[in-house]
Amino acid sequence: MIEKPAEKPSLISGLLRSVTCCVVLHAVSLPLSAEQSEFAQGICTGHIRTAKLRETSGMVASRQNAGILWMHNDSGGDAELFALTESGETVASYRVTGAAARDWEDIALGPGPEAGQDYLYIGDIGDNKAKRPTITLYRIPEPNVASRDPSSVARTAPARALHLSYPDGPHDAETLLVDPLTGDIYIITKRDLLSIVYRASPPYSTTERILLERVALMPWGLAVGGDISADGLLILVRGYSSASVFKRPSAGPLWQAFLEPSTLVPLQQEPQGEAICFNAQGTGYYTTSEGKNQPIYFYKRIPPSSQPPTP
């Protein structure tokens, strides 16, 4: 009897197995510290009211505009930023001058070339097919939204494009972090079994390509958003169904936080939640999801004296 050669697994079945592994790893194998979560369960503060925000992919809290959350759409939208309150009311919207929106995935706030000025970094870093030889961050001085007319669209100062590439070929990524203490840029990949952490350090050229440095592996995959607290001590990274907080080491660079155990933090069930950010004071964090009229959740930080004892 002649035996038939074993069939090779199809590309689709292989991808399904890979995605399943990522989901299982992300859902049940998050390495956690022994301590309890420092944050309470999320409370809805309002709903995103503008019909222009249909696929909210990135969100960051302003530090100079009190109570403002900056948001943007995912791929396919205009190069536009929206300033919202936590109740979901649009205070202002801006076209980003000189920017294109190929696949915006995350936004961060951090230092830049001018001391004392906060800058917004918009991450055009999505690459579903992993074919982009370079990715782009747009850096703009954060606008002052005072006295803006929410019914009209303003324009930002001209954006400076930072073109970056990975040392090991293209990756899809949806998480952008900017260290408020050093100005280092971190990009965390999405479609890897363990999400990879890459770093670039200032000063940043706006005329030459910036080569990222691979510095760490996340303990899980499918990272879709993140933020660093204003004091630089806590790092939040989320997936679709769970999120973790990492603590900056007392000595050494920020990326070494990803080498230590993390703590699982609360995350409300969302249809396709990708956005997460600390509030300006570091007393909690916000999340929201892609989709129309989505709720904004706030998760309050619990003072250590109020936390239940560790079993």
pTM of the model: 0.88
pLDDT value of residue 307: 59
pLDDT value of residue 31: 42
HEC string for the chain: CCCCCCCCCCHHHHHHHHHHHHHHHHHHCCCECCCCCCECCCEEEEECCCCCCCCEEEEEECCCCCCCEEEEECCCCCCEEEEECCCCCEEEEEECCCCCCCCCCEEEEECCCCCCCCEEEEEECCCCCCCCCCEEEEEEECCCCCCCCCCCEEECCCCEEEEEECCCCCCCEEEEEECCCCCCEEEEECCCCCCEEEEECCCCCCCCCEECEEEEECCCCCCCEEEECCCCCEEEEECCCCEEEEECCCCCCHHHHHHCCEEEECCCCCCCEEEEEECCCCCEEEEEECCCCCEEEEEEECCHHHCCCCC
pLDDT tier for residue 285 given thresholds of 50, 70 and 90: very high
Model confidence pLDDT, tens digit, residues 224-257:
999 999 999 999 999 999 999 999 999 989 999 9
Q: Yes or no: say if 111 and 101 are a contact pair by the CB < 8 Å rule.
A: no
The single residue listed with the structure tokens 């280092």 is 184
Q: Yes or no: say if 97 and 264 are a contact pair by the CB < 8 Å rule.
A: no
CA dist 306 → 9, 42, 108, 235 (Å):
53, 17, 30, 22
**Residue 17 and residue 311: Cα distance in Å, rounded?**
36
**Residue 232 and residue 172: Cα distance in Å, rounded?**
26
Instruction: Please determine, for residue 76, whether its predicted confidence score (pLDDT) is greater than 80.
Output: no
Domain map of the chain by residue range?
31-306
The widest CA-to-CA distance across the chain, in whole angstroms, is 84
Exposure b/e, 97-130, CB count within 10 A at least 16 = b: eebebebbbbbbbbbbeeeeebbbbbbbbbbeee
pLDDT value of residue 5: 40
Instruction: Please determine, for residue 27, whether its predicted confidence score (pLDDT) is greater than 80.
Output: no
Is-cis flag, bond preceding 203, omega within 30? yes
Q: Mean pLDDT, to the nearest integer, of 276-296? A: 97
**Residue 224 and residue 239: Cα distance in Å, rounded?**
5
Instruction: Please determine, for residue 287, whether its predicted confidence score (pLDDT) is greater than 70.
Output: yes
Instruction: Please determine, for residue 29, whether its predicted confidence score (pLDDT) is greater than 60.
Output: no
Q: How big is the chain by its Cα radius of gyration, in Å? A: 20
**Cα first-last separation, the chain:** 63
Model confidence pLDDT, tens digit, residues 91-102:
999 999 999 999
CATH 2.120.10 fits 31-306, yes or no: yes
Average pLDDT along the chain = 88
Of 25-39, 105-119, 244-258, 269-283, the range with the lowest mean pLDDT is 25-39
